[in-house]
């Protein structure tokens, strides 16, 4: 009897192992055969909306990679991520496959998470019109979305001017006082800047966009002292382009 019990126990374990193995094999084969039924796009809610979910879905569908109705496991995720990353508007692209089970049946979907680049400066003149983010990446303008930020007119004479102007712009955008004051920047051929304030009929000769924090500190002293005593319309130009100097030109 003892031998019979041992045999029955062993048979029970063999049956259990066989059932588990069959279940794993069945589940694996079923999941491998799952077809992609939909594309779901999530855009970071804190991102601008240069592109919407429908446009990103359309780009995926037109990528040349078989998606809807094809095996989920066969979709080339890396290729699709690379494809979306080539669009200047998008960054931090992440794509993954998702399988959902209902009983013994499975359905599949392609899930896409993206951020859209945040512009800090708009370059606009007779020849060009585009945004720049903190890294200096060009972002095409869109009729669907307008970012209310500082506008710069002109062209960059060199990359150093561009890099320093972006740093200066980021500084202005983070300062409530200067963000409310500076409306537009004119980029001169020699790399010097003219700032156009939102209040008052005067120009600010800023010079090249280096030492910008010191220049804004000196300029703020004029706002707090000179304008307080003489008003906004006393001057036609204020220059901070020279080191440790503020030169005001009266009308």
Q: Percent helix, strand, coil in the chain (nearest 5)?
A: 40, 30, 30
Q: What is the pLDDT of residue 106?
A: 74
What residues does each domain of the chain span?
A: 34-116, 121-250
Q: Where are the alpha helices (DSSP H) in 33-90?
A: 53-61, 77-85
Whether this model's pTM surpasses 0.75: yes
Tell me the fold of 34-116: Ubiquitin-like (UB roll) (3.10.20)
Give the pairing of strands 105-116 and 90-102: antiparallel
* pLDDT in single tens digits along all 251 residues of the chain: 555 555 544 445 444 444 444 344 344 444 456 888 889 999 999 999 899 999 999 988 888 888 888 888 888 989 999 999 998 899 999 999 888 766 656 778 899 999 999 999 999 888 889 999 999 999 999 888 888 899 999 888 999 999 999 999 999 999 999 998 898 999 999 999 999 988 777 889 999 998 899 999 988 888 777 666 666 667 788 899 887 788 877 77
Q: What CATH number does domain 121-250 carry, 3.30.413.10, 1.10.1060.10, 3.40.50.10960, 3.40.50.720?
A: 3.40.50.10960
């Amino acid at each position: 009897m003892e031998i019979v019990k041992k045999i029955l126990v062993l048979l029970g374990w063999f049956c259990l192992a066989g059932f588990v193995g069959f279940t794993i094999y069945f589940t694996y084969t079923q999941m491998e055969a799952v077809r992609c039924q939909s594309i779901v796009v999530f855009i970071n809610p804190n991102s601008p909306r240069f592109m919407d979910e429908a446009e990103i879905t359309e780009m995926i569908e037109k990528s040349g990679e078989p998606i809807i109705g094809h095996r989920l496991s066969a979709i080339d995720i890396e290729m699709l991520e690379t494809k979306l990353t080539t669009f200047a508007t998008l960054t931090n692209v992440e794509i993954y496959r998702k399988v959902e089970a209902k009983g013994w049946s499975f359905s599949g979907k392609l899930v896409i998470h993206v951020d859209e680049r945040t512009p800090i400066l708009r370059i606009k003149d007779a020849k060009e019109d585009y945004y720049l983010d903190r890294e200096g990446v060009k972002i095409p303008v869109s009729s669907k979305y307008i970012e209310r930020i500082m506008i710069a007119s002109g062209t960059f004479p060199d990359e150093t001017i561009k890099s320093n102007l972006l740093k200066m712009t980021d500084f202005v955008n983070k300062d409530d006082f200067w963000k409310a004051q500076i409306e537009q920047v004119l980029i001169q051929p020699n790399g010097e800047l003219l700032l156009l304030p939102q209040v008052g009929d005067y120009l600010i000769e800023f010079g090249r966009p280096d030492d910008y924090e010191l220049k804004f500190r000196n300029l703020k002293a004029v706002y707090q002292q000179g304008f307080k005593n003489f008003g906004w319309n006393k001057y036609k130009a204020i220059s901070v382009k020279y080191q440790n100097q503020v030169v005001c030109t009266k009308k």
